[in-house]
């Protein structure tokens, strides 16, 4: 698929902001997926093509958090097992099944997240000094991580909120470390999904690579902001993004 200059500029701008949003909260694909579909891609091709940018953004963002010492890896092997299990099923479903019925699920998820952050922010903001739980000791986190992998491989948009509920809500990592782990988790199930999409020849590489460049830059700046921002600022950013994501799910 060839792009004109306006389409390239659109993807560069939206990809940059999507990279920031995905690094700090989630829902950046609510910008990029509609843009790809407006450019003429079927929903399944747009879903697959979008993963090229998400994949590269996740690598760059996780690398940035790791460089600042904010990427905890001690329990990641146990985090990855349920995530990958859900990811395989979600990738196969995304490649073969229609995605239209997931819109209500996306909407319910993000509205619920908005309400939780507003009414009980301690769920996603553990008190300072909280020692994170282990996956083996927290069955709820296993379920949430499995659902995150399943949903994230299927449609991607909004999966960051589900991951934050698992990482901050169940495992009790602070928001900075939750965002860092979220990117590593995203890299895990996106690798699985992208592999399936490539085998099925569902990726349009030129727009995918344009998104990759801009989303990597967005992730770079998103990490810098996350490291310097106050926890309360991150909480409100997360809340605003869930509200915006809910609106996007309604209209798109």
What's the pLDDT tens digit per position in 213-223?
999 999 999 99
pLDDT value of residue 251: 62
Question: Is residue 65 predicted with pLDDT exceeding 80?
Answer: yes
CB-based contact 79:185 (threshold 8 Å): yes
- Average pLDDT score over the chain: 85
Is pLDDT at 99 greater than 60 in this prediction? no
pLDDT at residue number 106? 64
- What was the pLDDT predicted at 232? 73
Could you give the angle at which helices 43-67 and 76-96 cross, rounded to 10 degrees? 160
Task: State the average pLDDT over residues 3-18.
Answer: 94
Is residue 79 within 8 Å of 181, Cβ to Cβ?
yes
- CA-nearest of 219, 229, 95, 97 to 160 is 219
The mean pLDDT of 52-56, rounded to a whole number, is: 95
| Residue-level pLDDT at 248 | 62
The pLDDT of residue 145 is above 70: yes
**Per-residue confidence band for 118, with pLDDT thresholds at 50, 70 and 90:** confident
Q: Give the pLDDT confidence score for residue 101 in this predicted structure.
A: 59
Residue where the block lists tokens 């991150």: 234
* pLDDT tops 70 at residue 179: yes
């Amino acid at each position: 698929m060839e792009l004109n200059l306006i389409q390239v500029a659109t993807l560069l701008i939206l990809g940059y902001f999507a990279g920031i949003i995905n690094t700090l909260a989630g829902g950046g694909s609510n910008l990029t997926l509609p843009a790809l579909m407006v450019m003429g891609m079927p929903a399944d091709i747009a879903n697959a093509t979008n993963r090229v940018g998400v994949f590269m953004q996740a690598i760059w963002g996780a690398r940035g958090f790791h460089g600042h010492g904010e990427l905890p890896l001690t329990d990641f092997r146990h985090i990855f097992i349920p995530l990958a299990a859900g990811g395989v099923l979600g990738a196969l479903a995304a490649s073969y099944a229609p995605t239209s019925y997931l819109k209500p699920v996306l909407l319910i998820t993000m509205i619920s997240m908005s309400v939780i952050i507003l009414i009980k922010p301690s769920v996603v903001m553990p008190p300072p000094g909280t020692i994170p739980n282990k996956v083996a000791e927290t069955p709820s986190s296993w379920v949430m991580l499995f659902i995150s992998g399943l949903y994230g491989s299927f449609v991607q948009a909004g999966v960051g909120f589900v991951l934050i509920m698992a990482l901050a809500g169940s495992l009790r990592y602070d928001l900075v470390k939750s965002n860092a782990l979220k990117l590593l988790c995203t890299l895990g199930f996106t690798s699985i999904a992208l592999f399936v999409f490539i085998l099925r020849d569902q990726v349009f590489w030129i727009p995918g690579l344009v998104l990759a460049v801009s989303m990597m830059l967005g992730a770079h700046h998103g990490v810098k902001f996350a490291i310097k921002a106050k926890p309360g600022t991150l909480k409100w950013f997360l809340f605003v993004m869930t509200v915006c994501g809910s609106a996007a799910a309604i209209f798109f």
